[in-house]
C-alpha cells in the first residue's frame, strides 16, 4: 500500500498527499492575498478556494501569519523560474525577460504590489521580508551595474548602486500603474527605455 510505503520511509518524511494539499492551499492563499491583501483576505476565503474547511486549513498552517510567510517564500520560487542562472545574458535582456515572465503569471504582480505596500503598515508580518528583499535586489543589481561600469559601459556620471535603486523603484512603480491601467502601461518597454539611458551600447 502506498500510504504504508511512504510511512515506512520515515516518520518525518514528506507525505505525498499532505504536501500536495499544502501546495493547493498556497495557491489559494496566493490568489486571495493578491486580490484582497493580507488584512482584507480571510482564511475562510482561502479555505473556500482550496475546497476545504477553514479549520482543516489551520491544520497545515497554524496561523494566518504562517500562511503569509509561506506564500511569500513560494513567490520567490515561482518568479525565480525566469532565471536560468548558468546563462550568460546582458543585464538589460534579463530585466526585460523577467518583467515579461512575471506579467504572464496571474496574480504574481498583484500579490507583490499589494503586500509590499501593506507591509509598511504597523505590525505587518511581511515587513522584514520586503525590507530584506529590497536590500538583496539593490545589492544584486548594483553588482551588475558595477560590472558594466568596469568595462566602460555605464553612462558617465551614473553610479551603479544608485542606478540599481532607481531601476528597482521604476519597476515597482510601473507595475502599480500597469495594474490600474494595463492598456496604457508597457512595463517592459519603459524599463528598456531607462536602461538605454543608463547603459552604453556594446562597442563592436
Partner DNA sequence: GTCTATAATGGGATAGAC
Partner DNA sequence: GTCTATCCCATTATAGAC
Chain residues binding a copy of itself by CB under 8 A are 35-37, 39-40, 110, 113-114, 116-122, 127, 130-131, 134-135, 138, 155, 157-158, 162, 165-166, 168-174, 176-177, 179-181, 184-185, 189-190, 193-194, 196-198
Q: Which part of the chain contacts DNA (CB under 7 A), choosing from 46-54, 107-115, 143-151, 187-195?
A: 46-54
CA distances from 147 to 90, 93, 143, 160, 180 (A): 11, 15, 6, 9, 35
Nearest residue (CB) to DNA, 12 versus 201: 12
Measure the CA–CA gap between 3 and 10, rounded to whole angstroms. Answer: 12
Find where cell 520560487 sits: 77
Which one of residues 15, 132, 139, 182 is an interface residue with DNA (CB under 7 A)?
Answer: 15
Q: Which residues are CB-neighbours of 37 under 8 A, at least 6 positions away?
A: 114, 115, 118
Give the footprint of DNA on residues 77-116 (CB under 7 A): none
Q: Say which DSSP state 82 is in.
A: G
Task: Please report whether residue 16 would count as binding DNA according to CB under 7 A.
Answer: no
> Which cell goes with 55?
479549520
Shortest gap between Cβ of 38 and DNA (angstroms)? 8
Coil/strand/helix, residue 198: helix
What is the binding site for DNA (CB under 7 A)?
A: 15, 17-18, 21, 41-45, 52-56, 58-60, 62-65
Amino acid at each position: 500500500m502506498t500510504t504504508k510505503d511512504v510511512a515506512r520511509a520515515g516518520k518525518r518524511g514528506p507525505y505525498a498527499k499532505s504536501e500536495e494539499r499544502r501546495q493547493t492551499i498556497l495557491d489559494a492563499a496566493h490568489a486571495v492575498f493578491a486580490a484582497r491583501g493580507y488584512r482584507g483576505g480571510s482564511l475562510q476565503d482561502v479555505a473556500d478556494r482550496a475546497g476545504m474547511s477553514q479549520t482543516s486549513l489551520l491544520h497545515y498552517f497554524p496561523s494566518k501569519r504562517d500562511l503569509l510567510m509561506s506564500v511569500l517564500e513560494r513567490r520567490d520560487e515561482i518568479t525565480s523560474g525566469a532565471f536560468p542562472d548558468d546563462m550568460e545574458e546582458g543585464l538589460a535582456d534579463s530585466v526585460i525577460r523577467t518583467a515579461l515572465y512575471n506579467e504572464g503569471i496571474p496574480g504574481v504582480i498583484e500579490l507583490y504590489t499589494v503586500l509590499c505596500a501593506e507591509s509598511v503598515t504597523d505590525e505587518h508580518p511581511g515587513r522584514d521580508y520586503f525590507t530584506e528583499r529590497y536590500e538583496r535586489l539593490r545589492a544584486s543589481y548594483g553588482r551588475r551595474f558595477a560590472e558594466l561600469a568596469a568595462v566602460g559601459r555605464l553612462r558617465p556620471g551614473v553610479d551603479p548602486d544608485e542606478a540599481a535603486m532607481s531601476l528597482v523603484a521604476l519597476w515597482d512603480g510601473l507595475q502599480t500603474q500597469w495594474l490600474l491601467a494595463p492598456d496604457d502601461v508597457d512595463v517592459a518597454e519603459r524599463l528598456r527605455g531607462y536602461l538605454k539611458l543608463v547603459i552604453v551600447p556594446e562597442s563592436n
